[in-house]
Amino acid sequence: MKVYQKIFIACLTLCSLFFSGITTVKADEIFTSSAKSTYLIDADSGTVIFKQNEEKRLPIASMTKIMLLDIVFDNLESGNLTLDKKINVSKNSCGMGGSQVFLQEGGTYLVGDLIKSVAIASANDASVALAEEIAGSETAFVDLMNETAKKMGLKDTLFSNCTGLPKPTQYSSAKDVSVMLRSLLRHKDYYRYSNIWLDKLVHPDGSETTLTNTNKLSKFYQGCDGGKTGFTNESGFCLAATAKRGDMRLIGVVIGEESSKKRFKEVSEMFNRAFSLYESTLIVDSVKPCQDKAKIKGSKQEYVNVYPKNNLTVFTKKNSKVDCSVETVIFSDLKAPLNKGDKVGEITLYKDGVEYAKTDLILNENVNRLNFSEAFDKVAENW
């Protein structure tokens, strides 16, 4: 046998040995990302489905406004802000540039309309107007954003403004952005705006600005009902989006894609894979009262229904068996008066014997203290 023939046979043998040692992975079980940072999770449990450079610190452009909106809705729920409050916008807010709705300096706008402008059109001017209303200045509001990020445990995030306009001292990561969006999704009123595809902002002088949702998945992807886009030359094309089908909600984040089309395509593909391979099973339903009731001393109703604050679901591969159990603890020292929403206990979900998720037990009604006459009647009844 000639030398070149021996070499050829040896090469074939080596190739055969090499390829026989490679583990074959089914195409529907893998996902690759061309983004600089990528993260996909189950929103309810926080289970990570896919990650790639998820902690890499990068500019995130207008995805910064996720934190802005979260703080705005916190202020609405605490009563520090109302949707119908009128704000006189400053010269500073009107001069932001970039994405804007062209607020008129000194003009009066409703808080709800400013939120709509941020959530739909990613308006920088409306963002600063809200920040100034809440904290007095954008600088003070940025301090609040960084304090909130610290409380959330975000280790790879630093804010220098509330808009995401380029600054070298501003960055985040796909993982941290997912935490921010997960927090924003707690606010039910957020969905009043995030689902809108086309709207308008009417200015004080009667002129109008058309608002078109920058998150195209809100119209073109089944189940997508929230999220935030971002783009600057420094950040590339970014997207954080959420979609829900059945009991399963996903959050997908990409940072630094090469085109707008690519960011939407990639997040859509991640969602498709996850929805096809996984499922969430609702174990604890927040709209149903617990079997056990709370005993409240000094109240007209001695026993009161309690409700889970949030749903508890189990995230698994489809058709897999899951061993789940629930433990309910209601506080024993409850005394009237108590208010709707007050915490009166906890409910814990266990998966395969290990703590998996937990939520508060709350009241769904006010519980008043007995007045003198009612207390007298109660004593007489039991005499």
* Contact (CB, 8 A) for 357 and 312: yes
Q: Based on the residue annotation, tell me whether 183 is a catalytic residue of this protein.
A: no
What's the one-letter identity of residue 332? Answer: S
Q: Based on the residue annotation, tell me whether 122 is a catalytic residue of this protein.
A: yes
Catalytic, out of 33, 36, 65, 178: 65
Catalytic, out of 45, 62, 178, 299: 62
| Class of residue 202 by CB neighbours under 10 A (exposed 0-12, middle 13-18, buried 19+) | exposed
Nearest to 274 by CA among 19, 48, 37, 3: 48
What's the one-letter identity of residue 39? Answer: Y
Q: Based on the residue annotation, tell me whether 160 is a catalytic residue of this protein.
A: no
User: Strand 354-363 and strand 236-245: pairing?
Assistant: unpaired
Contacts of 29 (CB under 8 A, 6+ apart): 277
Q: At what angle do helices 111-121 and 124-135 cross, to 10 degrees?
A: 140
Catalytic, out of 122, 127, 173, 218: 122
Q: Provide the 10 A C-beta neighbour count for residue 34.
A: 13
How far is it, in rounded angstroms, from Cα 129 to Cα 103?
A: 9
Give, in order, the Cα–Cα distances in Å from 122 to each of 63, 66, 125, 138, 306: 9, 10, 9, 16, 39
Catalytic machinery residues: 62, 65, 122
